[in-house]
Each structure stands twice: as structure tokens, then as C-alpha cells.
Amino acid sequence: MLITKEQIFERAKQSQLWAGNLIAGHQSGSAKLKNYTPIDNSSIGYIADGSAQDVHAAVRIARETFDEGCWSGLSPQERKQVMLRWAQLIEKHSEELAALDCVDAGKPITECLNTDLPATVETFYWYAEAIDKLFGKIAPTGRQEMGLIVHEPIGVVGAVLPWNFPAQMFAWKVAPALAVGNSVIVKPAELTSLSAYRMVELAYEAGVPKGALSLVCGLGEKVGEALGRHPDVDIVSFTGSTEVGRLFLKYSAESNLKEIVLECGGKSPQVVFEDADLDAAVPHIMAAAFWNMSENCSCGSRLIVHENIKKPLLEKLVAAVSTWQVGDPRDASVSIGPMIEQAHFEKVGSFLETTLKEGGKLITGGKIHSDLGSGWYIEPTIFDAVTPEMSLFRHEVFGPILAVTSFKTDDEAVNLANDTHYGLAASFYSQNVHRVMNIARRINAGTVSVNGFSEGNITTPFGGFRQSGFGGKDNGLEAFEQYTQTKVIWFINQ
Ligand code: NAD
């Protein structure tokens, strides 16, 4: 049955939304965690409080299914048909999934409908279409031998997800991992499990064998750690904070040395040179800085600007900020919804005080919106005079606070941009093609965009350098490398 976004909003009001464990299709466990919406901090229902036993049951079935071959043993063309049906169902249920992410994560409904869900649907179609176009290789040998280089699914994949783009992150991990034939166990963030639950239900409806896809909801310290330490999980693909990413390396080292892929945080620079077209740059700088309430791994949270154009650029940004409405994310005119939860809101809020204490100059914003009821709203904020020693320059805030630092020379700009432990994304603005070529190669980041903010698209690999992550990329054909292993089969002509 198709469910409208108004019906989801109504159910949320009545605390009627639910995300349970789906272990090979079965609801398991009776323990529940209350789920709240950041819109007004009211209860919207429950999610399952999954346990290590639930993870164990999911892994056992995932392994049996993988070995038995009812999914891993299908031809790519057969898996493609099922994946295409799943993509169609997700497309059909887009409005419902968008509304679930809106109430669960506080994301503006317009963004969920126009950006997140279309990208989610595209990801499913893209990997479904790609799976029967992947070839192995034949090694260059003489007639006495033949070496086949083949790519095989790894086995049991744990996908551990963050809360900032619930449906889209699910798609980035699960679509390629499942398409190549693995069995997948998904652990959504405990703050945002609703769309994941619905997408797994739709997978079963599309014909994905139940044993090949399970969902275990619940806390990171219970479900996430149990997956990370499980001796029969072959790989965990993790997206989340650098801090928790570190723990997954430890879990792996202390268990079965499973592969770990990390897609972690960032502190991405936006560098604006003196010759930039400021009017064209402003909408991109704004999107990089404040899109999704800046709860975005590739958020361009450091604006590094040539001193001669800082004044006009800041004037334009202040004017642009005033057009970004803060408020209830169910309202189509709102661009900035609440922070995800109270603890995060307090963490983001603490940067406002610290930056003022450390000498930052408040240019616009800086207010917490207490007029919007009991949700966790913070105005988009810009601080000038931020130096590399200050906390705002160093730490991932994951909230709408932009740090402005000025420079005089190109070398100084590059040094400031690279002065971070992270390396996820960077953008820079210049009309000079020689400068563009030179700087793009010198910036340490997995995605460098020129004269605009971009994370690339589904065709291009996404992932970081340094402490932003390693071990594999999401998106592009490169994502298949995460979820396959390379085998050589060597024939000897006796
Ligand atoms: P988080 O690290 O707190 O949580 C991510 C996942 O890990 C959740 O499912 C959580 O339940 C689980 N987890 C938490 N503690 C755990 C533990 N002790 N053991 C095992 N699992 C545990 O991250 P978050 O707050 O959900 O997401 C925000 C972070 O994600 C930011 O740092 C952001 O930059 C990053 N992120 C990165 C990308 C990327 O592609 N690089 C994309 C989105 C978000």
C-alpha cells in the first residue's frame, strides 16, 4: 500500500512508527527503544533494541544463505532483475521514505523529496544495471598456461550506517554489496532506523532472498560492536565518526581480522581566490556550508578567503543566509531544520561560546531558536577571524557554523586548506585555469570540486584521505571493489 507523507506525519504525531529487527524476514526480540523526532522532541514510536544474540542469529543465516548459493550463486542477470524490482519499489515508495527521514532525522522535507530519495533510487538502479557488465581478466601467458583473474563476493557483509542521510547511506552500502552476491546485515543508526526498515521490507517484496538481507536495529555499543567483533563477518563497511571508525579497527584486530572500510568525518575547506566570480560562488559556498544543517560529512566548514575580497564576500553571504529559513522541516519553505538530538545540539552550541572566547568575530547568526518549541534549532552562523589554533578550525562541528580565515598568497591558501587531520572534500573558486590545475593537485582530499560544491555523483568514487577514511570507496564501479575479493584460477596444460 502506498503511504503519503501526510499519513507518515500523522502517524509520527500518534507515536505509531516502528522499526524492528528483520532477521531473514523475521521480527526478533521484544526489547524496544523509544524513538523521538528532533522536530519537537516528541515520541514518534519505537525501534528494536537489538542484541548480540540478534546479530549472531543474523550472521548464522547470512552465512548459510551465502554458502547455499540461492543469491550468491545466481547469475548477475538474475540478480539484476531482482535489484531492478527493488529499485522500482523504492521509487514507488519515495514519498513515504522521504517523510520517514524527515520526521526521524529532522531533515527538510523538500531536501528529502528532491535530493535524498532521487539519489537513493538512482543508486539502486545504477548498481542493478552495472552488475552484469563487470568482467574479470585473463593474465598474459604462453600456451602452456592460462590465468583467470575473477572477482568473487566476499561473503557476509556488515553495513553500519550514520544518521545524517539515512536512506541514501543505506543505498550507497547495500545496493553494491548485495548486487555482487554477498549476504548483508544492515545496522542503521539508532536515531534513524525507520527508512531502513521499510527498504528491507521492500527488498523482500522484490524477491531478495530473506537470508541474504537482515536488519538489526539498536545501539552502537551493542549491535555495532557485536558485528565488528563477530568471527564470521567478513567485512564491515562503516560510515560514521572517525572516533567510532577507530573502534572498528580495534574490533577487527581483536577478532577475525575482518576487512574494515571506513568513511568518516571531515573538516573540508572552501578556498576563494581573488579572481573568483563571487556572485556565482555564493550559492555553492552556502550549500557546502549549510546544506542538511551542516550535518554532512563533506560540509565545507572552513571558508578560506583572499583578504582583498573577504569584505564583499561576507556581505553577500550574510544576505544569502537571511534567505535560508529555519524551522519545522515538514514545511516546504524551510531549509534549516533541527539538530538531530539534544546531545548533538549542545555540542554544536558549545562551539558558539568557545569560538567567541577564543577570539572569533561573530558576523551573523549565533542564536539558538527557542521560539520554535522544544526542537533543537540553531541559526546558520558565520565567524570571521578564525585562526588554525582555534577549535572551530580543527574540529568537525556537524552543525551550521562556518569558520572564516583569510590568506594573502596561494601557498598560504593551500597550507591552510591542508592543515587538518581530515581529507574528505575541498572546493575552490578561481577563474584562472593555471591556478585551478595547480591547486587541485595540491589539495589533500578525496573529492576536490572547482567553482562549485560537489560530492561527484553515482558514477564517481567517494571517500576520504587521512582520518576521513580508507579501505574502499562508496559509489562508482569502485564500490564493487569493497565487496568483492580477487581470485586467480591458474590452468596448466600438461
Ligand atoms: P557515529 O560514529 O556516532 O555512528 C555511526 C554508526 O556507528 C551508528 O550506526 C552507531 O550506532 C554506530 N556506533 C556508535 N558507537 C559505536 C560503538 N561503540 N561500536 C560500534 N558501533 C557504534 O556517527 P554518526 O553520529 O551517526 O554520524 C555522523 C558522522 O558520520 C560524522 O562524523 C560524519 O562526518 C560521518 N559521515 C561520513 C560520511 C562519509 O561518507 N565519509 C557520510 C556520512 C556521515
Give the model confidence (pLDDT) of 231-277 as tens digits.
999 999 999 999 999 999 999 999 999 999 999 999 999 999 999 99
Q: What is the pLDDT of residues 300-319, one digit of tens each?
A: 999 999 999 999 999 999 99
pLDDT above 90 for 473 = yes
- Could you confirm whether 263 is annotated as catalytic? yes
Is ligand 1 within 6 A of the CB of residue 264? Answer: yes
Mean of pLDDT values over 175-198:
98
CA atoms within 13 A on the CB side of 214: 30
Question: 56: pLDDT confidence band, cut at 50, 70 and 90?
Answer: very high
Given a contact cutoff of 8 angstroms between Cβ atoms, the answer to whether 301 and 382 are in contact is: no
SS3 363: strand
Report the alpha-carbon distance of residue 194 to residue 190 in Å, rounded.
Answer: 9
What are the start-end ranges of the E strands in 336-408? 361-364, 381-384, 401-407
- Per-residue pLDDT for 30 more than 80? no
Q: With a cut of 90, say whether residue 493 has pLDDT above it.
A: no
Assess whether the C-beta atom of 161 lies below 6 angstroms from ligand 1: yes
176: three-class secondary structure by DSSP: helix
The residue nearest atom 9 of ligand 1, judged by CA position, is: 189
Report the distance separating Cα 462 and Cα 476, nearest Å.
8
374-401 pLDDT, tens digit per residue, is 889 999 999 999 999 999 999 999 999 9
Q: Which amino acid, one-letter code, is at 24? A: A
C-alpha 11: how far from chain center: 26
* H runs (alpha helix) in 187-307: 194-206, 225-229, 242-254, 278-290
- Sorted by sequence, the CB contacts under 8 Å of residue 69 that are 6+ apart come out as none
- Give the count of alpha carbons within 13 A of 348, CB side only: 27
Ligand 1 site-directed mutation target among 47, 55, 168, 241, most atoms within 8 Å of CB: 241
Residue 288: half-sphere exposure toward Cβ, Cα within 13 Å: 36
Question: In the predicted model, what is the mean pLDDT of residues 460-487?
Answer: 97
Residue 109's pLDDT band (boundaries 50, 70, 90)?
very high
Nearest-atom index, ligand 1, CA of 242: 32
Neighbouring residues of 78: CB distance < 8 A, sequence distance ≥ 6? none
Structure-block grid coordinates of residue 157: 557483509
Contact status, residue 337 vs residue 293, Cβ threshold 8 Å: yes
- Across the range 135-144, mean pLDDT stands at 96
Q: In this structure, what is the dihedral angle of CA atoms 81, 84, 88, 89, given to the nearest 10 degrees? A: 70
Write down the pLDDT at residue 157: 98
Closest C-alpha to 267, from 300, 311, 232:
300
Strand order in the sheet with 43-48: 17-19, 43-48, 32-36
Q: Ligand 1: does its nearest atom lie under 6 Å from the Cβ of 251?
A: no
Q: Are 330 and 316 in contact (CB under 8 A)?
A: no
pLDDT at residue 373 above 90?
A: no
Report in angstroms the alpha-carbon separations of 456 from 246, 289, 425, 441: 26, 17, 10, 17
Quote the CA–CA distance of 198 and 18 in Å, as a whole number. 10
Cβ atoms of 287 and 299 closer than 8 Å: no
Percent of the chain whose predicted confidence (pLDDT) is above 70: 100
| Residue 105 amino acid letter | A
Residue with CA at minimum distance from ligand 1 atom 10: 220
Look over the chain and give the mean of its residue pLDDT values, rounded to a whole number.
97
Rounded CA-CA distance 243/461 in Å is 23
Ligand 1 centre distance from Cα of residue 137 (Å): 36
Q: What is the pTM of this model?
A: 0.97
- End-to-end Cα separation, the chain, in angstroms: 62
Residue 371 banded pLDDT, cuts 50, 70, 90: confident
Higher per-residue confidence, 146 vs 29: 146
Residue 369: the pLDDT is 82
Among the options 95, 96, 225, 263, which is catalytic?
Answer: 263
User: DSSP secondary-structure letter at 71?
Assistant: T
CA-based max dimension of the chain: 82
pLDDT over 90 at 97, yes or no? yes
Among protein residues, the one with the nearest Cα to ligand 1's atom 28 is 240
Nearest atom in ligand 1 to the alpha carbon of residue 396 is 32
Any ligand 1 atom below 6 A from CB of 299: no
Distance CA 441, CA 426 (A): 11
- Reply yes or no on whether the pLDDT at 29 is more than 80: no
Residue 340 pLDDT more than 80?
yes
Nearest protein CA to atom 42 of ligand 1, as residue: 297
DSSP for residue 23: B
In this structure, how many other beta carbons lie within 10 angstroms of the beta carbon of residue 27? 11
Residues 6+ apart with CB under 8 A from 33: 46, 47, 48, 49, 190, 218, 219
Q: Is the CB of 50 under 6 A from ligand 1?
A: no
Task: Give the atom of ligand 1 at the shortest distance from the alpha carbon of 398.
Answer: 31
Cα of 187 from ligand 1 centre, angstroms = 11
Pairing assessment for the beta strands 302-306 and 183-187 based on DSSP bridges: unpaired
